Amino acid sequence: MHKIVSLLCITILVSCNSVGKSESIAQQVTVPKHYDKVDVLPNAVLYDTTLELDFIKTANERGAEFIVAEVIITSKRWALTFNEYGQIVARSRSASMIANKEDKCYVQNLVFEQKGDGESFNETEIVKKSNWKTFNCNVLENKNPDTIARVQFEN
């Protein structure tokens, strides 16, 4: 917190003291991104490798801030959306995405949705997401490996 405040003070001083150059100098000062911390991860309520891999693929294709490598499905059943005629037009399910970068672990809660036409469902989309949060990576070591889809990505 002290470092962030110091950087902000430097930016303000530079902006005030250098007329005409404040934009270019202020843009060079980078404030580190802050992530809230969580102590526990949610429990998986469903184990479905196909669905887990679909959620991982969707999250990574939609420009996630981190590469998602693991997922915890947190809703037992699909939540259904009906039209005025009683037909299912969409279904949604929540999950927590797990990512690791530079020896830090991150989690983000997402809601995935698949639109339907009465006979089948379309591609999975992300309709809601929380901010990324950090957690102690040791939490993953204590989990049963069968509770999370684990995917190896090639570099």
First to last CA, the chain: 34
Residue 100 CB-density burial (10 A; 0-12 exposed, 13-18 middle, 19+ buried)? middle
| 133-152: average pLDDT | 64
User: What pLDDT is stored for residue 146 in this prediction?
Assistant: 46
Asked whether the predicted pLDDT for residue 3 surpasses 60, the reply is no
User: What pLDDT is stored for residue 138 in this prediction?
Assistant: 85
| 29-50: average pLDDT | 83
Strands 104-116 and 88-101: antiparallel
Q: Give the contacts of 6 (CB within 8 A, at least 6 positions apart).
A: none
Report d(CA 60, CA 63) in Å as an integer: 6
User: What pLDDT is stored for residue 143 in this prediction?
Assistant: 56
| 29-42: average pLDDT | 77
Supply the pTM of this predicted model: 0.69
DSSP state letters, 63-109? T-SS-EEEEEE--SSPEEEE-TTS-EEEEEEEEEEEEEETTEEEEEE
Give 46-97 pLDDT, tens digit per residue.
Answer: 999 999 999 999 999 987 788 999 999 999 999 999 999 999 999 999 999 9
Give 102-137 pLDDT, tens digit per residue.
Answer: 889 999 999 999 999 878 999 999 999 999 999 998
Of 29, 33, 32, nearest to 13 by C-alpha is 29
User: What pLDDT is stored for residue 65 in this prediction?
Assistant: 82
Report d(CA 89, CA 80) in Å as an integer: 8
